Amino acid sequence: MKHIKSCSTVTSFMVAFAVLVTAITCPLSAFADNRSAGLAKVKILAMGGTIAGAAASSTETKDYKPGSLDIGSIISSVPGLEKIADISGEQVANIDSSHMTNDLLIKLANRINHLFSRGEADGIVITHGTDTLEETAYFLNLTVKSDRPVVLVGSMRPATAISADGPLNLYNAVILAAQKGSRGRGILVALNEKIYGARDVTKTNTTNVDTFQSPGFGCLGYVLDGRTNFYQATTKRHTRDSEFDLGGLKSLPRVDIIYGHVQGSRDLVDAAIRAGAGGIVHAGAGNGGIFPAEKQALTDGIQKGVVTVRASRVGSGMVTRAADYDRRGFVASNTLNPQKARILLMLALTRTNDPKEIQRMFDEY
């Protein structure tokens, strides 16, 4: 507590300077030891990203290094966190989220399940790069075995920028994670004052702070002035109601995404199958349409046991089943975008490679 107060006296808009000072004076252990009676225990697991990013100057918002600051520095830059929860931080990785791996997904899910099963956290916040945040969120939505809140948060501007969005985003994420009202809603994503559900949220703009949206569905609610307001809830299976279990799983089956386009060839499909893909997600045109040469290659793959999901490159809407595709053994992605379909297909393949059973999973999750 002492450390946090002395750190927060540094002028708040001088984020770059504050971060440097606090990195020196506020070691992570100061937060780990900070136990405040009566407050929810919120553990912040840090993965890196722009929220931990630093640039050469405060006006530089696009050319910077994600994953530069550690979790102690990030916590120190948000005054008032200690009043809303009993905060501790843990560095799981410190990467640009485009470097995310299946191994890190498994490690993160196992760590969360461990913390909850030991009663070491009432809620968890994950600081994460925004580029692949939606994939991590959906993976956790399917593999975390608890109804306690898990909230992913990131930022679009680095911590050193004028008007950095990270501090308020983190503050709001902790509010959300500390509240009992956030339980049972699946994995949540909190950015730019909005709350999204892991299944439907996606990054829609390369640079803007209002990048996260749930096309066709909308946000679940808002966090404003320290209060959460929920308006919607997902009807899809998640967390405690999920049949997927990481158990002792050490790796995930290879699933590749192939992007459909005019005059598509069979070459990339054949290459994926040769490389050992157990599954392929095809990001098709419109309602999952596939160019004939590619469709034939994918059909050949299905006959060899490569489970193939038709998704869409459109960005919103449902990919529906059709008699010809059903006959060939394709699975339809429902409303999952290609990158989310890849996550579900990897987990589905840990249980079965029966396309009918996997279609059921795509309809239920």
Which residues contact ligand ASP (rule: CB under 6 A)? 49-50, 66, 96-98, 129-131, 154, 156
- Find tokens 């967390």 and name the residue: 239
CB 198 within 8 A of CB 178: no
- Decide: helix, strand or coil at residue 326: helix
Of 153 and 178, which has the nearer Cβ to ligand ASP? Answer: 153
Looking at 9, 11, 50, 202, which residue is catalytic? Answer: 50
**Maximum C-alpha span of the chain:** 67
The token duo for 320 is 């529906």
Catalytic status, residue 50: yes
Q: How far is the CB of 339 from ligand ASP (least distance, A)?
A: 13
Nearest distance from residue 74's CB to ligand ASP, in Å? 13
What number of CA atoms fall less than 13 Å from residue 346's CA on the CB side? 27
Structure tokens of 201?
Answer: 């949220």
- CB of residue 129 to ligand ASP, shortest distance in Å: 2
Closest distance of CB 168 from ligand ASP, Å: 15
27: CB partners within 8 A, 6+ apart:
72
Nearer to ligand ASP, 116 or 212 (CB): 212
The number of beta carbons lying within 10 Å of the beta carbon of residue 350 is 16
Nearer to ligand ASP, 40 or 95 (CB): 95
Specify which residues 285 forms β-bridges with: 289
Cross-sheet strand order for the sheet of 150-153:
86-95, 41-48, 123-127, 150-153, 188-191, 194-197, 221-224, 227-230
Q: H or E stretch including 93? A: strand 86-95
Of 50 and 312, nearer to ligand ASP (C-beta) is: 50
- Give the Cα separation of 163 and 220 in Å (integer): 25
Q: Whole-angstrom Cα distance, residue 329 to residue 309?
A: 9
CA distance 31 to 247: 31
Name the minimum Å distance from CB 46 to ligand ASP.
12
Whole-number Å distance between alpha carbons of 312 and 6:
51
CB of 154 to ligand ASP, least distance (A): 5
Residue 10 or 93: the one with the smaller Cβ distance to ligand ASP is: 93
- Pick 50 or 359: Cβ nearer ligand ASP: 50
Using Cβ positions, the residue closest to ligand ASP within the complex turns out to be 129
Closest approach, Cβ 352 to ligand ASP, in A, equals 32
Coil, strand or helix at 189: strand
Nearer to ligand ASP, 187 or 306 (CB): 187
Q: Pairing state of beta strands 150-153 and 123-127?
A: parallel
Number of H helices, E strands in the chain: 13, 14
Residues labelled as active-site residues: 50
